[in-house]
Amino acid sequence: MSVDLIRSSFVACLLALAGCGDSAPPAPLISGANPYEGQDLTGAPNILLIVADDMGYTDIGTFGSEIETPQIDALAAAGMIFSNFHVAAACAPTRAMLLTGVDNHLAGQGSMMYLAPNQRGQPGYEDRLNDRVVTVARLLQDAGYHSYMAGKWHLGAKAMQGPPDRGFERSWWLAEGVAPHYSSDGLSPPHHYFDGLEPTEESVDFFSSDAYTSRLIEFIDRNRDSGRPFFGYLAFTAPHSPLQAPKELVDKYEPIYARGWDVIRAERYRRLQNSGLAPAEQELPPRWPEVPAWDSLSETKRAIEARKMALYAGLIDNMDQNIGRLLTRLRDIGEYENTVVFFLSDNGAEHVDPEVLDALIMKALLLGSDNSYDNMGKPGSFVFAGPPWANVSATHLRGHKGLATEGGIRVPLLVSWPGRVAAGLRSEQLSMAIDIAPTMLAIAGIEHPGTEYRGRDVVPPSGVSLLPYLTGQTETVQRPGSVGYELAGHQAQFYDRWKALKLRPPFGNDQWQLYDILADPGETTDLATQYPERLAALVRDHEHYLQNNGVILAPEGYDALSAKLGIRDVLALIFSEE
């Protein structure tokens, strides 16, 4: 079998890893009368949700980074910073919660395709938004909002599973969960769709963040004189691998990272402490065990590693420039002052290391790519940052994407609303991805329909609105109880500053631990024996969470990686024919 045929028939699907959706499309999602017909939108603000992809906790300037992010930092200064905000440890489950306010298991993203036999075909494990939820885009559209989406969807890519079927009036969306940033990439070009499932015919080359921002601006401009507010969802794929960035940005950052990850990480932590975003009395935790000292690397290896992080930084810098371009356009058309902006990342930094990941999978993933030093970051390359730079992105937090540790699920949340959210506010209040949809609905003055929507049963949000807290009406986030979390067998339960955590091997021993995540965000000191009653209460709450949200835990010892799309069996068949 030729390499070209393998590439054309398989690599694009492999890159998706998740987000293809199950084989059966959902039933029609709308029937009956619009419950929001005639909604009064007088004075209703525009709502803009901006999501970065796989960006770590400290990768923006406000959170200690050396990467230049002046536009994002300006948003932070203009509103409220949430430093104790949590998402899922992977892309699609977070996106499902952001758009619905419903736990990922009830929304259809219970495991993002890492399915064990006992999970396959079960409710909540459809690997798409299922028909038990209604999106905030749909509700806002029903109430009279324009609704636009540009970027990574990752919540279903078959008929009746895309943004148009979930309430987006206009959309230009990436079907896969992973794609190159250059449209001219010959390894596996991205698959974008305008609205429905007709592929986009692009006549010019584009770079992902530039193109997504331009599309959203285009959608906003077309209806700017309608007199109706808009909901805009800008879902970047930056800085997700493959790491690719414009040369001028790579050249800008490469000398910075030639100083090495040990120096960069220590500097980030000092800035975090100086700004009050990390405990002043706590020392920086040691490097992760798999990360060598920078000084132990050869000169050649240092050059390669410095370029990896320069590519990553370039993606974030470019994303920041595009955010600035969008906000400038809103100012130019007189809409900025009436726009609420949310900015966050969908999970912690990616930890993938091609040198140790399953060889068979990497053989297909990197098939045909040119990762030579001179070609790194250009079309045709597929570069990962790797564990050492993920350790920098997490800085003092434990773990990375995929884990329920703070480094996997704690990300920055910035909320700006001129005239309504006071500038320069910082919050350590526990806040979650499921809180964003209820907050956006409250901002628009719209009530969620509850358990029934237009002829079908739906799950109401489990998150709480942050609006009273954002606008100073309350001194705390009004949450009625603790909050549960599970993905790939890793589990957590949160209440106020307390977190019960259980990690599956090889990352843990499947035993519950207890942490004070305000005093110890790096999860360095297990308090389980010191506060056994507190831990027991959280574990009891977690049992209720598992039951109430239909969580199906994979059998003990189950290897989730080997189950991805049946990759191991498919690749073994393909490569046996070479």
Question: Looking at residue 457, what DSSP letter applies?
Answer: E
Residue written as tokens 């709450």?
A: 541
Helices and strands counted in the chain (H then E): 17, 16
Closest CA to 64 of 316, 276, 228, 216: 276
Nearest-angstrom CA–CA distance, 493 and 318: 36
Contact 338, 400 (CB under 8 A): no
> Are residues 216 and 51 in contact, defined by beta-carbon separation less than 8 angstroms?
no
143 neighbors 446 (Cβ within 8 angstroms): yes
How many CB atoms are closer than 10 A to CB 576?
8
**C-alpha–C-alpha distance, residues 106 and 84, integer Å:** 24
Which one of the listed residues 154, 181, 240, 542 is annotated catalytic?
154
Q: Distance between CA atoms of 468 and 460, rounded to whole angstroms?
A: 20
For residue 25, the one-letter residue type is P
User: Within 10 Å of residue 203's Cβ, how many Cβ atoms?
Assistant: 4
For 179, how many CA atoms within 13 A lie in the half-sphere containing its CB?
Answer: 24
Catalytic residue (choose from 20, 86, 91, 400): 91
Active site residue 86: no
Amino acid of residue 518: L
The answer to whether 448 touches 439, Cβ cutoff 8 Å, is no
Q: Which of 182, 570, 574 minimizes the C-alpha distance to 383?
A: 182
Q: Active-site residue 13, yes or no?
A: no
Q: Which residues contact 226 (CB under 8 A, 6 or more apart)?
A: 146
Axis-axis angle for helices 70-78, 299-332 (nearest 10): 50
Contact 191, 179 (CB under 8 A): yes
Q: Exposed e or buried b for every residue in 276-308, given b needs 16+ CB within 10 A?
A: ebbeeebebbebbeebeebeebeeeebebbbbb
Enzyme catalytic residues: 91, 154
